[in-house]
């Protein structure tokens, strides 16, 4: 994708997108039988892309791809015991919430998302534990690790989705060694939070999108397999 469809530029290993480029932020499924297939795809606008940080904006009204149960009902409506083994498919669906700013440092096994209400009242940060993003010409791919952390303006925090993290292990989506690595990553993220390190200390909550930015379109080949991917 550049400016409308972004193309990473620069020397090999140093390719970066320009502010305003449109790319895809995708997650691959980790369920048996579906592992590796893209099941979440979100067109986003690049805010910043440097050696230290990738920042992207998902605007309200963005058409995305999300997983649903085979009958079209939301995944969260499935009982926890069968949530990760029930048949699924994907659908196109618009993001009607307020926009989301996503921040990711290369190599970190998490990304940090900022949430506001529709009047730009800042609500919270959300630490999404995940595989370090893999870059390709049209965006970044990752795999969600279920366990998350909410962080609030008063610097307090709490674990999120511990029940789903436990069920993912029972359902065979991650083995004990991977689960231990994810829990260690969460503890490392908590260390950053308690020290109020970056990006929490960087005042991203005061950032606002360029009003001239168009909402990125979801391409027909949103699930394509890239020829070349790099960390």
Convert the pLDDT of each residue in 46-95 to its tens digit: 999 999 999 999 999 999 999 999 999 999 999 999 999 999 999 999 99
Name which CATH class applies to 2-206.
Answer: mainly beta
Query: Among 85-89, 110-114, 144-148, 149-153, whose mean pLDDT is lowest?
Result: 85-89
Confidence (pLDDT) at 35:
72
Length of the chain: 231
Does pLDDT of 160 surpass 60? yes
| % residues pLDDT > 90 (the chain) | 86
Q: What are the sequence ranges of the domains in the chain?
A: 2-206
pLDDT at 4 over 80: no
pLDDT at 145 (0 to 100): 98
> Has residue 183 got a pLDDT over 70?
yes
What mean pLDDT is reported for the chain?
Answer: 92
pLDDT at 173 over 80: yes
Report the percentage of the chain scoring pLDDT > 70.
90
**pLDDT for 36:** 79
Tokens (6 digits) for 61: 């009204």
In contact, 174 and 47? CB cutoff 8 Å? no
pLDDT in tens, 87-136: 999 999 999 889 999 999 999 999 999 999 999 999 999 999 999 999 99
C-alpha span between 97 and 74 (Å, rounded): 16
Q: What is the pTM of this model?
A: 0.91
Cα separation of 91 and 226, whole Å?
Answer: 21
Confidence of residue 146 (pLDDT cuts 50, 70, 90): very high
Q: What residues have CB less than 8 Å from 84, skipping those under 6 apart?
A: 31, 167, 168, 171, 173
CB of 45 closer than 8 Å to CB of 1: no
């Amino acid at each position: 994708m550049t400016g409308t469809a972004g193309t990473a530029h620069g020397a090999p290993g140093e390719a970066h997108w320009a502010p305003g480029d449109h790319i895809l932020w995708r997650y691959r499924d980790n369920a048996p039988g579906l592992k590796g297939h893209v099941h979440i795809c979100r067109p986003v606008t690049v805010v910043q892309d440097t050696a230290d940080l990738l920042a992207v904006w998902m605007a309200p009204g963005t058409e995305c791809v999300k997983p649903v149960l085979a009958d079209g009902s939301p995944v969260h409506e499935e009982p926890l015991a069968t949530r990760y083994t029930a048949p699924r498919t994907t659908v196109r669906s618009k993001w009607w919430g307020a926009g989301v700013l996503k921040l990711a440092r290369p190599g970190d096994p998490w990304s940090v998302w900022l949430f506001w209400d529709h009047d730009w009242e800042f609500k919270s940060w959300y630490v999404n534990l995940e595989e370090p993003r893999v870059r390709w010409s049209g965006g970044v791919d990752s795999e969600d690790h279920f366990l998350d952390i909410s962080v609030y303006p008063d610097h307090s925090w709490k674990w999120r989705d511990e029940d789903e993290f436990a069920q993912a292990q029972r359902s065979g989506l991650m083995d004990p060694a991977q689960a231990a690595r994810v829990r260690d990553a969460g503890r490392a993220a908590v260390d950053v939070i308690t020290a109020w390190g970056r990006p929490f200390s960087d005042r991203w909550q005061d950032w606002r999108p360029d009003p001239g930015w168009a909402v990125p379109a979801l391409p027909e080949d949103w699930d394509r397999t890239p020829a070349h991917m790099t960390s």
